Each structure stands twice: as C-alpha cells, then as structure tokens.
Amino acid sequence: MEPITYRDAAINDADRIADLFVATFTEIFGHLYRPEDLASFLADHTARKFAAQMADPDYTIRLAELKGALLGYAKLGPLRLPVEAQKPAAELCQLYLLPSARGTGVADALMDWTFAEARARGAETLYLSVFTENHRARAFYARQGFREIGPYAFMVGDHADEDIILARDI
C-alpha cells in the first residue's frame, strides 16, 4: 500500500478541503438538522472561507493524502471558544476524515501535528469542541488526553447542538 503523506495546505487546496468538509459533515451529522439549517451552516464553509483562513497567519491546515487524494485534515487556529484560558492557548477548529481513513492512524498523526504546531505557536493548552453524541470522536479525544471543560452551544443555522468543550495541556 502507498504511504499516507502529510503536508501543510496551500490556497489551491481550498476547494478540496471545502468538499471534504461538506461531504463528511453531511454524512455524519446532516440527518440531525432541518434542510435550511444545514444549508445555512454549509454556506459558511466554502472554499473561499478556507482560502481566507489559509492566508491568515493565525490559522494553519494540515492535510493527509493518499496518492494525491485528500483523506482528511486538521485546522488549528486561535482560541475562539467561550472559555477563560489560564495559559496561552490554541484551538483545534476542525479535524475531519473520510470514512475510509478512519482506523488508519491518520487522526493520530494529525493530532500529533496539532500538538506540535500549537506548542510551536506558544500555546500551552489546546481546546476543541465535540458534539455530545459523537461517541467515536469523544473516545478518540479521551485517548488523546483531553478533559471535559463544559457545555457549548454549537450553532448549525438556527439549531443549537449540545457540544462539549475539551482541553488538554500540551
């Protein structure tokens, strides 16, 4: 089998990242929302928005690829979650994988990169939010050493999801 490769995203990757985000979010969570809420949410996750974030030095995206095909990505950015950080912090904004990449070690490799990149940016704590009913992701983050901080209303259109904010010292 070909090796999985990892690299920092470039502006010209924005379309592929947006496509992967829309496909995976819709597959995993799409059934939870009214069509208008899902459409509103996805309209805010366009290639243009990903490209703008990649042009912003506060954000960075790491890609996982197999034979040039995108398997997943991790997006690291400044802390935007509603928490009172006690130490310099960063936020894992997104970690998305195609279903075919689950269980392959890609998520672990992207998390290792996220920890290292956050530390290199001066962060001592990494935060993220996860849907309460996303048991697979919650188990993954628990294995990575994250602890629960508290509830968070993650908005998908006009629908408020019950998320949990997690943190880990890095």
Instruction: Name the pLDDT band for 1 (thresholds 50, 70, 90).
Output: low
pLDDT of residue 147: 97
- Taking the whole predicted model, whether its pTM rises above 0.75 is answered as yes
Residues of the chain with pLDDT > 70: what percent?
99
The encoded tokens of residue 13 equal 């990757």
- The answer to whether residues 126 and 144 touch, using CB atoms and an 8 Å cutoff, is no
Question: Which CATH number does the domain housing residue 100 bear?
Answer: 3.40.630.30
DSSP H helices in 1-46: 14-29, 35-43
Cα(156)–Cα(159) distance, rounded to whole angstroms?
5
- Per residue in 108-167, pLDDT (tens digit) is 999 999 999 999 999 999 999 999 999 999 999 999 999 999 999 999 999 999 999 999
139 is in which domain, residue-wise?
A: 4-169
- Per residue in 64-73, pLDDT (tens digit) is 999 999 999 9
Cα(132)–Cα(170) distance, rounded to whole angstroms?
23
- Count of domains observed in the chain: 1
3-class secondary structure, 102: coil
